[in-house]
Amino acid sequence: CRALLDCVFHQPQAMDYEPLQPLAAASGLNIDEVNYVVCLLLSYPLAALFRLLPTSAPTLRHIYSIVVGLAFGIFCFRIFVLHTVVSSLIVFVMLKVFGNTPAIHKVIFVFVMGYMVACHLYRQIFSYGEYILDVTGPQMLLTQKLTFLAFSVYDGKRKSKGDAKLNEMQQEYASTQTPGLLEFFGHVFFFPGYLAGPVHFFADYRTFIEGTDKNGKAPSSFGVCIKKILGAFLCIGITKVPAALGFPLTLATLEDPHFHRTSNLAYTLVYLWLSSILVRMKYYFAWILADGANNAAGFGFNGYDKSGNAKWDKITNVIVSKVEFATSLKSVLDNWNIQTQKWLRYVMYDRTQSVYLTMFLSAIWHGLYPGYFLTFISAALHTEASRKVRNTIRPICLKAIGQRAYDFVTFVVTCVCLNYLTLPFVLLSFWRSIEVWSSIFFVGHFIIIPMLFLPGKSKSAAAGAAKSDKKEAPVTADAAAAAAAVEEKKQTPSSPAFSTRSRKQE
């Protein structure tokens, strides 16, 4: 059984021939990391060439995208790129053959999630806690792409029947036709985003390829690409500073009993904050670099601001300043792993109105380590608690202490809770996480739990009441749906989804 599983899922860390091995040895990085970064950097000149292809020749653009994306997959994963090909082909057949089946989007969701979970499970059983950059990462992104597409096709059928229950996002991205094979795989292997995202809707990819985007022709992206390359390397450079100064910061230090014997709670929380920033910087590096590669191809243009400056934030995955200086968890979630948040909202939250189901999906998508579930279950509680605080305590505090003082207090509380909540995500193990949490007296939960008892209904309860009201008064259904959408934009954060990170990498 192990041999069979190895043939299907396992990718050796060291291939028979690695042309970039000397570079890996010189940089001190693993060969899989070097391969990833080199491919991301190669995406820039290849994207510039891609942009020369006319939008009047979409077939040529699809072929170019497939060839380069597949080449990146073969270079990084060798034969295991077939996971992408096979699972995508199965979904394509499902859409073509069973596209008119009412529940086909759910079947596709279960299939691609199950396929991805199988990859996660293999790694957890045979490589527990080890850091491996294998095809599982692109498979996670592919899961989002394929479910985005399946639900878009489903919403397209609802839209064609005049379904008034579709919200604004569902109406915008509803697809009235299933893509052809070439267009489908062009979307799957779109090379600037194949390895590290950001994930995008199929509708956005189609209008980009055909040059029919509502924002018009994209201007030059040279300046924004340079800024994003420099920004990405600044982030990774920051992670090297503490060690260079002789004061390395790692979350593993928090597990050292000697550290806790010699450190008070305030120092421990500051240490946790600084070391967590370094962890996030590694994600910023990959996301910003990948975002810039998409921009180099002309993808991501989002019109112009009031000053006439081009906006390149249509598929941006993170806004660093708004994460690091957030004054609420909502602000963090609105600006962290943005496209994954959009996916969670589109395929789960908008259809169930359940924060807890959405958090559970986020945990499963990342993997099966207990630490993921500790993070996301606790985050669900925090989401409910922060909503009640905003509705009840915030107006009182603003009158009592003013906006600036309130912002400072909420900034500190947000820092503590964010770093506290994401700690198990890095440690992975249930008991290791509980042990570290106990060493800081479960401070995050002591902040969150009392807030849950504040007056006011939770979002889930409010959604249930809204559904009941709709049944009793069908005449106001459209108005209720519109009001719910507006309220959701104002108050509801999308559930958190943090990129996967293993113990060895940390």
Find residue 310's DSSP bridge partners.
304
Q: Please, are residues 462 and 343 in contact by the beta-carbon 8 Å criterion?
A: no
Q: Known catalytic residue: 366?
A: yes
Residue type, 154: Y
Tokens 């500790």 appear where? 374
Tokens 């958190």 appear where? 496
Cα–Cα dist 205/68, whole Å: 16
Cα–Cα dist 212/190, whole Å: 18
Cα–Cα dist 419/150, whole Å: 35
| Phi and psi angles of residue 310, each rounded to the nearest 5 degrees, phi first | -65, 140
Q: Which of 337, 391, 419, 445 is catalytic?
A: 337
Cα–Cα dist 117/143, whole Å: 10
Q: Please, are residues 239 and 282 in contact by the beta-carbon 8 Å criterion?
A: yes
Alpha-carbon distance values, 357 to 248, 333, 360 (Å) = 38, 17, 5
Half-sphere exposure of 21 (CA within 13 A, CB side): 7
* Strand residues in 436-506 grouped as ranges (E): none
H helices of 211-345, where?
A: 222-238, 241-244, 257-261, 265-296, 320-324, 329-335, 338-344
Radius of gyration of the chain (CA): 23
Q: Which of 366, 382, 391, 419 is catalytic?
A: 366
What residues act catalytically?
337, 366
